[in-house]
Every structure is written in structure tokens, then in C-alpha cells.
Amino acid sequence: MRKLSVFNHISLDAYFVDKNGQMSWAKAHQDPEWNSFVADNAKGGGELMFGRVTYEMMAGFWPTPMAKEMMPEVAERMNSGPKIVFSRTLDSPAWNNTRLIKGDLVSEVRKLKEESGDDMVIMGSGTIIAQLAPAKLIDSYQFVVNPIVLGGGRTMFQDLPNQLNLTLKESRRFGNGNVVLTYAA
């Protein structure tokens, strides 16, 4: 059975997007140690999973020359790796190696988890997370806590119907102030 994990940045006040729905603040604390971690983490493989909004944001950035110059290893992985986008409104995804799924999110992810193949990783996509978490379809969470307070925005667990208990498996502090927390569901 394939595993499904989450990798997301959050602010100190627990938002993953700011008041304008942006995530650009997550790139503010770059340094060689952090950049090395991100490049190594991108080598982890797996199929990337997105909702439409995050997919369009990622597809608008990673194929650009700027992305390839800033983070070549990550850009290579993002552009060449397999991707899934869940959307009811998108007709044909333009980003390389993307498959579009329009069906019921929870039942489709159950099917995906039963397939053979690489594990899957959700990036961004808070609406997807908020639907899959209560269905107990997410196996682990990796949060990058950024040393910034946004003062508003949206959490990944917006309107979660029940409490979600997680178990801390690992933590790592970086010189730039970021802290990575890995939890099992």
C-alpha cells in the first residue's frame, strides 16, 4: 500500500497561506544549509499531489528559468516527476507528467493508495488536506515552521470536523530559524 504524506510550510501563527492566499513568504529564509536540505528532500521521489490552486501556482513557477537558476535540483524534480492534480474545473493540465483526477477526492485517494508504486506527497493544497485528514488517508506530516508571523491567512486544517492527534517522530532546527517537524498520523 502506498503512503501519503504532507510537506508544507507554516508560519508561527499556524497559517500555510497569507491573507492573500500567497506562500511566497516561505522562501524568505534561504541559506546554504536550508537549500541543501530542500535539494536532498526533493530527491525523495514519490508522486506529487495538488489541488488546482496550488497546482497552477507550482506550474507557473517551477518550469521557469528563474526556478531552474534558483534551485536547479528541486526544479528538475518538480518538472520531471509524476504529478496528480485534483480539480473539477481544470480541463487539461499543461505541466509535464501530470494526470488529472476529477472524481470524489476521498474515494480516489483510497484507490491511489491501494495501487502499487511510489508513495505520494501533498504540497500546499490545504483544501485537499482538510478533506483527507479526517478520512485518515494521510500517513505523515512534515511541517516547516518559518520564523514569521502572518497575522492572518488560512490553516491547512480549516473546518476540520474532529481533533487530529499526531505523534512527533523527528524535529530539526536550521540556522535560518526554520524548524522541520515530522509527525505520524
- pTM, whole model, 2 decimals? 0.90
CA neighbor of 184 nearest in space, from 1, 2, 3: 3
Q: What's the pLDDT tens digit per position in 91-126?
A: 989 999 999 999 899 999 999 999 998 999 998 888
Residue 70 has pLDDT above 90, yes or no: no
pLDDT tens for residues 24-54? 888 777 788 988 888 787 777 789 999 999 9
- Alpha-carbon span 73 to 67, nearest angstrom: 10
Residue 23 predicted with pLDDT over 80: yes
CATH number of 4-184: 3.40.430.10
Q: Is 183 helix (H, G, I), strand (E, B) or coil?
A: strand
Q: Is 15 exposed, middle or buried (0-12, 13-18, 19+ CB in 10 A)?
A: buried
DSSP letter, residue 16: S
User: Residue 140 pLDDT > 90, yes or no?
Assistant: yes
